[in-house]
Amino acid sequence: MTTLKDQLDNCQYLLARARLAGDDDAVRRFSEYRELLIKQSASMKTHLRLV
């Protein structure tokens, strides 16, 4: 099982590759996925502060 940080690192890598390749569709998809992962991370941090 990969951690949220691992998923974000992988997404960042794939996003950079998509940008280099000029693949606008992949850039959009990985940007959206990255945003989702960041929101999940922020939600987890907020939850842990409240516990």
DSSP 24-50: HHHHHHHHHHHHHHHHHHHHHHHHHHH
Q: Is the pLDDT of residue 1 over 90?
A: no
* 7-16 pLDDT, tens digit each: 999 999 999 9
- Contact by Cβ (8 Å): 18, 31: no
Spatial separation of the C-alpha atoms in residues 5 and 45, rounded to whole Å: 13
pTM to 2 decimal places: 0.81
